[in-house]
Structures are given as structure tokens and as C-alpha cells.
């Protein structure tokens, strides 16, 4: 029996991590039926945003790396489309698997759908309803170029229905007759799988970072809206510094290079103040296992990341999101994620509320049973009548 040839397209940190759930499930349960190839666009290229995950999470190493690097949206995406097209024409995979909402996702969707390769989108249907976000445009366009759409949440599934996708479609599925599924979230699979390993493999991390369990705040900031607007970034970080000093509580901040670049170029005096503040520790991006341990052991998370806010739920931590909207709306309804945008008063109020009452919250299971990757791979087998 010939194997189904699946081409994963990844490029940015969260996609590489997401692909590990699929890679692991193929290795453990589907290796007789599915052959996996991985194309890395090269959108992320620093070791700590890319290579570290392939090593640490034992992910299938990229078979192709386009090495596109950083560039403005149009140029970066067009370089990716050109490179992906060449690989598709040579490799002729049976389908391509896309993750999330980055420029690498969009480039994969455009290149593959125009060449009539079936596109399967993991994390379909998420919407912020803010088309000023590059990710929102990427999501909508990728979903509408897809044949199988795997929605992680009820809200994402409903969004797809509202855009005209019909759950009652029957096979054979095509780009014009797509199938939508409510699947759960492959990142929940990952957190369940790696949480205990993180404790074992990174047991000295807290000591090295001078942190104590439940007595520090974990913060990440990387979204274009916050990093490229130095006024917003300045407000956020000076408010966090004030809160750290008031409560004498350490903040650990593994920052994306984009955030460090903005601090160095547009907020030098504040960056210098943060560096000498005894409660603030700005560090380079950490590995996924290190991040998992920090999320598991912190008191509270403050972030603008989609992935990190969701992981706050997996590890039952209250979370403040530095945006005015989120795609993971069930977390807001649940009261465990608070949206403060870059508003210093809201940030202060929600911080005070969580620091005093953050232990009485409940964290229902919104994200499936931890076997979402297996579910998705079984549906891919069905698509090919296997």
C-alpha cells in the first residue's frame, strides 16, 4: 500500500511547536500509512526561534528550507510563494498541512491551492474580527483556500459556519466542497505530553533564573501592534515595572527579538531602567520545555501571544492579554483571561484583582481530549479513503 505523502509547511515558532504534535502522532501511530515531509519557509531563523524546537521536541527535521528571512509582508510572502511552488511541483505531495495564521500559512495556502493540491488547515476558523492584524487576513484567506478545515474550538467552528462553510457537506471534499471539523487543539496535546518532561528536564531552571514557584509573573510581548508602536510598548512596560516594584514580585520576560529591537531603537531610556530594575528580568526567547515550566510554575501570565494565553488555561493560571480582542474568546467568557489592551488603568486593575483573587478560578476543558492530532490524521486517512 503506498503511503500518503503529507507536506507540512512551517516557518514561525508557534507552527514549529504545533507541528510536533502531528509529527509525534505520525511517528507513533500512522507511520505505515503516512509519510511526512516538512518545508520550513525560513521566516524564523534565529536558533532560539526555530532550531531549538526541532532538537528539543524531536520534530521531523525540515526536508526543505527556503531561507526567506525577514522582510516586509509582501516581499516575504511572495518569496515564500515562489519557493513553495517549486517544491510542490517537484515533490507532488498528496496534500499540504498548514498551521495557524502566519505569513508562512498564507503563502502555503496560495501556492498549493493555485496548483490544485488539497490544503488542510489546522487551527481554522479563529477570528479576532480585526482586519488590521496581519494574522486575521492570513487566517481568512487560508481558510477559504482549504479543503479540510480543523477548527479547535466551538467559537472557531461557528465562525466558519457564519462565513458560509457547511458542516453537512458530504464527500468527496474539494476546495469548493470543503469539510469543517470541530477537533480540539493540538497545542493541548503538546502541553499534556511535555508538561512532566519539562519538570524533569528543566528542573534547575527556576534556581538558575532566581525564581520561586508561584512567586513570579511570566510576560511575553511580540505582536506587531505592541512592538512597532513604541508608545504602546512604553506604556505596557512602564506599567509592569510599576506593578513589579509595588508588589515586590519578579517578572520574567522572554522577549522576541522584535521587541528587543524596538526597545533598543525607540525606548532606550526605559530599556536601561528595566535592565537595572531588580524585579524585571528581560531574557532571550526560551525553549518550549523551559517556557512550559515557567508557565506551570508562575503566579500569573501577561502576554499578547495567542499560544501563551491558551497555555495559561492549560496550566490553570490567570492571564492578562495586552490586546483589545482575542481569538480564544471562551477564555474571556470564562473570566480567566482579561483583555486590557495597552490601557494602564485596566492593566493595574486586572493585575490587582488576579494577584488577590487569582486562586479561585475554574478552568473547564475547552480544548479537546489531548488526542486531537490523532483525530486529524484519521480524518486525513478517510479523505484518501484509507
Query: How far does Cα 288 stand from its chain's mean position?
Result: 11
Q: Which is nearer to ligand UD1, 116 or 264 (CB)?
A: 264
305 lies in the binding site for ligand UDP (CB under 6 A): yes
Residue 136 interacts with ligand UD1 (CB under 6 A)? no
Least separation in angstroms between residue 140's CB and ligand UDP is 16
CB of residue 89 to ligand UDP, shortest distance in Å? 29
User: Is position 307 an interface residue for ligand UDP (rule: CB under 6 A)?
Assistant: yes
Neighbour tally for 170: CB within 10 Å:
8
Those residues whose C-beta lies under 8 Å from the C-beta of residue 42, and which sit 6 or more positions away, are 11, 65, 66, 67, 68, 69
Cβ proximity to ligand UD1: between 78 and 378 the closer is 78
Distance (Å, whole) CA 104 – CA 385: 29
Rounded Cα–Cα distance for residues 97 and 150 (Å): 11
163 binds ligand UD1 (CB under 6 A): no
Among 162, 261, 265, 357, interactor with ligand UD1 by CB under 6 A:
261
371 interacts with ligand UDP by CB under 6 A: no
Whose cell is 522572554? That residue is: 254
Helix (H) or strand (E) holding 331: helix 329-334
Q: Are 376 and 6 in contact (CB under 8 A)?
A: no
- How distant is the alpha carbon of residue 256 from its chain centre? 13
Binding residues among 19-78 for ligand UD1 as defined by CB under 6 A = 43-46, 49, 70
According to CB under 6 A, which one of 57, 96, 160, 308 is a site residue for ligand UDP?
308
Report what 152 binds from ligand UD1, ligand UDP, none; CB cut-off 5-8 Å by kind: none
Q: Please, which residue, 14 or 178, has the CB nearer to ligand UD1? A: 14
Q: Rounded to whole angstroms, how far apart are CA atoms 104 and 196?
A: 31
Does position 152 interact with ligand UDP (CB under 6 A)? The reply is no
Residue 308 interacts, among ligand UDP, ligand UD1, none and using kind-specific CB cut-offs from 5 to 8 Å, with ligand UDP
Contact of residue 363 among ligand UDP, ligand UD1, none (CB under 5-8 Å per partner type): none
What cell does 124 get?
A: 481554522
Instruction: Give the Å distances, CA to CA, from 317 to 65, 280, 331.
Output: 36, 20, 11
Q: Total number of residues binding ligand UDP (CB under 6 A)?
A: 15
Least distance CB 313 / ligand UD1 (angstroms):
18
Site for ligand UDP in 164-223 (CB under 6 A): 220, 222
Q: Does 14 sit near ligand UDP (CB under 6 A)?
A: yes
**DSSP annotation string for 45-66:** -SGGGTHHHHHHTTPPPPSEE-
Q: What does 220 bind: ligand UD1, ligand UDP, none (CB cut-off 5 to 8 Å by kind)?
A: ligand UDP
Catalytic residue selected from 40, 121, 222, 313: 222
In the DSSP assignment, the letter for residue 173 is: P
362 CB contacts (<8 Å, ≥6 apart)? Answer: 334, 336
Please choose, from the candidates 181, 194, 108, the residue with its C-alpha nearest in 3D space to the C-alpha of residue 145: 108
Q: 36, 56, 123, 135: which one contacts ligand UD1 (CB under 6 A)?
A: 135
57 binds ligand UDP (CB under 6 A): no
Question: What is the DSSP secondary-structure string of 236-297?
Answer: HHHHHHHHHHHHT--EEEE--HHHHHHHHHH-HHHHHHHHH-TTEEEEPPPPHHHHHHHHHH
Residue 222 annotated among the catalytic residues of the structure? yes
Q: Strand 4-10 to strand 95-99: parallel, antiparallel, or no bridges (unpaired)?
A: parallel
- Compose the 296-335 pattern: x for residues touching ligand UD1 by CB under 6 A, - for all others: ----------------------------------------
Which helix (H) or strand (E) covers residue 76, if one does?
A: helix 73-91
Question: What is the nearest approach in angstroms of ligand UD1 to the Cβ of residue 247?
Answer: 29
Interface residues with ligand UD1 (CB under 6 A) are: 12-14, 43-46, 49, 70, 101-103, 134-135, 222, 256-258, 261
Name the residues annotated as catalytic. Answer: 222
Interface residues with ligand UDP (CB under 6 A) are: 13-14, 17, 220, 222, 254, 285-286, 288, 291, 305-308, 311
Amino acid at each position: 500500500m503506498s503511503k500518503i505523502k503529507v507536506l507540512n509547511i512551517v516557518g514561525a515558532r508557534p507552527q514549529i511547536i504545533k507541528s510536533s504534535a502531528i509529527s509525534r502522532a505520525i511517528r507513533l501511530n500512522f507511520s505505515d500509512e503516512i509519510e511526512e515531509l516538512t518545508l520550513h519557509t525560513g521566516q524564523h531563523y534565529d536558533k532560539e526561534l526555530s532550531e531549538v524546537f526541532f532538537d528539543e521536541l524531536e520534530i521531523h527535521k525540515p526536508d526543505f528550507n527556503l531561507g526567506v528571512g525577514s522582510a516586509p509582508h509582501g516581499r516575504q510572502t511572495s518569496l515564500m510563494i515562489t519557493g513553495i511552488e517549486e517544491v510542490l511541483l517537484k515533490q507532488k505531495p498528496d496534500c499540504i498541512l498548514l498551521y495557524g495564521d502566519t505569513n508562512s500559512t498564507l503563502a502555503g495556502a496560495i501556492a498549493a491551492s493555485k496548483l490544485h493540491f488539497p490544503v488542510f488547515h489546522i487551527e481554522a476558523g479563529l477570528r479576532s474580527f480585526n482586519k488590521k492584524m496581519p494574522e486575521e487576513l492570513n487566517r481568512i484567506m487560508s481558510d477559504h483556500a482549504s479543503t479540510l478545515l480543523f477548527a479547535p474550538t466551538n467559537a472557531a467552528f461557528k465562525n466558519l459556519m457564519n462565513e458560509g462553510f457547511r458542516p453537512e457537506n458530504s464527500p468527496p471534499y474539494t476546495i469548493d466542497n470543503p469539510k469543517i471539523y470541530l477537533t480540539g487543539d493540538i497545542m493541548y496535546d503538546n502541553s499534556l505530553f511535555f508538561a512532566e518532561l519539562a519538570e524533569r528536564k528543566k528542573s534547575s531552571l527556576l534556581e538558575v533564573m532566581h525564581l520561586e514557584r508561584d512567586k513570579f509573573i511570566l510576560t511575553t510581548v511580540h505582536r506587531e501592534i505592541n512592538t512597532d508602536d513604541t508608545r504602546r510598548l512604553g506604556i505596557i512596560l512602564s506599567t509592569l515595572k510599576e506593578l513589579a516594584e509595588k508588589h515586590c514580585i519578579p517578572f520574567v520576560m522572554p522577549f522576541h527579538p522584535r521587541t528587543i529591537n524596538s526597545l533598543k531603537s525607540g525606548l532606550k531610556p526605559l530599556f536601561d531602567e528595566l535592565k537595572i530594575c531588580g524585579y524585571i528580568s528581560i531574557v532571550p526567547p526560551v525553549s518550549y520545555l523551559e517556557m512550559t515550566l515557567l508557565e506551570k510554575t508562575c503566579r500569573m501570565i501577561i502576554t499578547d501571544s495567542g499560544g501563551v494565553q491558551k497555555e495559561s488555561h492549560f496550566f490553570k493560571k490567570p492571564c492578562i492579554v495586552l490586546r483589545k480582542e482575542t481569538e480564544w474568546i471562551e477564555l474571556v467568557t470564562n473570566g480567566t483571561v482579561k483583555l486590557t489592551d495597552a490601557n494602564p488603568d485596566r492593566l493595574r486593575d486586572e493585575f490587582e484583582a488576579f494577584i488577590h483573587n487569582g486562586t479561585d478560578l475554574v478552568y473547564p476543558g475547552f480544548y479537546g481530549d489531548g488526542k486531537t492530532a490523532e483525530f486529524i490524521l484519521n480524518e486525513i486517512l478517510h479523505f484518501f479513503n484509507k
